[in-house]
Amino acid sequence: MSRARRSSGDGLDALLAAREMVIVAGSGGVGKTTVSASLATAAAVELGGRVLVITVDPARRLADALGVGALGNTPTQVDPELLAAASGRAPEGELWAAMLDTKAGWDELIARHAPDPELRETVLANPLYRNLTSRFVHSHDYLAMEQLHELHGSGRYDLIVVDTPPSRNALALIDAPRRMREFFGSRLLKWLTTPYRSKVFSAASRPFTQIADRILGSHFVEDIAEFFTLFQTMEPTFVRHADEVEALLGDLRTAFVVVTTLEAAPVHEAIHLSTELTRRDYPLAAIVTNRALPKSYTGRAAATSARRLGAEAADESSAMVATVAERLEADAEQVAAVLTETAERFGEIALIATREAERRSELSELAPLLVTAPPLEHDVNDLSDLLELARHLRSPAR
């Protein structure tokens, strides 16, 4: 840990100050990347310490928002002067950003785990390795875990905020360590790693290897056996890391934040995800409802105003319409049409806001904290936008 963070405030601030890792999950397009970057930026500016935001969902937007063009596996510091300019103050801490690159990730992983340089080179040069690492089921999730292990274990960061792929995948991310252990214990791996010669010449597997050779090239089976035999020698380290990551994710150093908008489908996903996290005993700390309509739209007063406005606009002798038209130097009929439309649309929006409020209250049952951000007028593209969003997320007034 480089520096202590300020542990003032409550809500999300308390979370950002106390936890070492915040994992942001939710459906696609709800604002996970934006919220992750926003929370990390605010934490770096206000709470201090060294804060890293890492995305496992390679969205260019995060890179753009953080002003770092080509993010890779290696964390890059966001220019402190840019951070100061965007926040209008001297930041308390540092902001770092990284993005997961699957291919480079595997190579680094092998390099890290290979017991000796010769083995490392053999694995890296293996054609099957090159082929498999791009297709290995859940390899992306496993790598994310492995990278978290590495970055968290380095002790270089006080807080790591992790953006994730869409929600079902977020569970896959959590399951990755277990799946890795299972893979090493699997019969498939045992079969693959039985000595090549005996397998090729055994009567049972001959048809398979012959077909495989014909379709995939004569070295396929040899490559596969070699690859997995090498891979297996790295089992103890892989499995130890998987165990450690699993422990880290499950204890109070970590907090899960589920992000959702208030449309039906993302809310459904958020409920599924939150319920699953809790059922599996992972520390779900907060749900963020993003791009939510203001609660005030749902009030009786607003509905009454809209209804009266509609009635006035429909009244041909309305003094109000005449006054507005005069004020705007516009045609009274046009003004009446605009006001009628506005009143009707408000009714529709209020209905949506009412539905949103119901969904919010359903979500509030699932996590200790529910915070809401409104739709900003513009896309969230730069550090100032991120800080603007963070002000909403961190504001205690709910």
Ligand X SMILES: Nc1ncnc2c1ncn2[C@@H]1O[C@H](COP(=O)(O)OP(=O)(O)O)[C@@H](O)[C@H]1O
Residues forming contacts to ligand X in the complex (CB under 6 A) are 28-34, 59, 61, 290-291, 373, 375-376, 379-380, 389
As given in the structure block, the two tokens for residue 218 are: 């004569």
21 phi/psi in degrees, rounded to 5: -145, 130
Least distance between ligand X and beta carbon 391 (Å)? 11
Residue 241 CA neighbour count, 13 Å, CB half: 22
Q: Which of 59, 84, 119, 239 binds Mg ion (CB under 5 A)?
A: 59
Which of ligand X, Mg ion, none sits in contact with 126, Cβ below 5 to 8 A by type? none
Q: Which is nearer to ligand X, 158 or 385 (CB)?
A: 385
The binding track of 5-44 with respect to Mg ion, each residue x by CB under 5 A or -, is ---------------------------xx-----------
Which of ligand X, Mg ion, none sits in contact with 373, Cβ below 5 to 8 A by type? ligand X
Stretch of 40-48, 58-66, 173-181, 205-213 lying at the interface with Mg ion (CB under 5 A): 58-66
Is 57 a binding residue for Mg ion by CB under 5 A? The answer is: yes
Least distance between Mg ion and beta carbon 251 (Å)? 26
- Cα first-last separation, the chain: 33
Hey, CA dihedral for 372, 378, 379, 382, is it positive or negative? negative
Spell out the alpha helix ranges (H) of the chain. 11-18, 32-42, 60-65, 80-87, 102-113, 117-125, 127-132, 139-153, 167-185, 187-193, 196-201, 206-216, 220-233, 235-250, 264-279, 300-314, 319-328, 332-364, 383-394
Per DSSP, the three-state class of 160 is strand
Is 169 a binding residue for Mg ion by CB under 5 A? The answer is: no
Which of Mg ion, ligand X, none sits in contact with 225, Cβ below 5 to 8 A by type? none
Is 166 a binding residue for Mg ion by CB under 5 A? The answer is: no
Least distance between ligand X and beta carbon 193 (Å)? 39
Cβ(274)–Cβ(171) below 8 Å: no
Residues that contact Mg ion, how many (by CB under 5 A): 4
Which of ligand X, Mg ion, none sits in contact with 260, Cβ below 5 to 8 A by type? none
Spell out the alpha helix ranges (H) of 251-377. 264-279, 300-314, 319-328, 332-364
Instruction: Please report, to the nearest 10 degrees, the dihedral formed by the alpha carbons of residues 21, 262, 60, 253 taken in order.
Output: 0
Which of ligand X, Mg ion, none sits in contact with 28, Cβ below 5 to 8 A by type? ligand X
Can you give the binding site for Mg ion, defined by CB under 5 A? 32-33, 57, 59
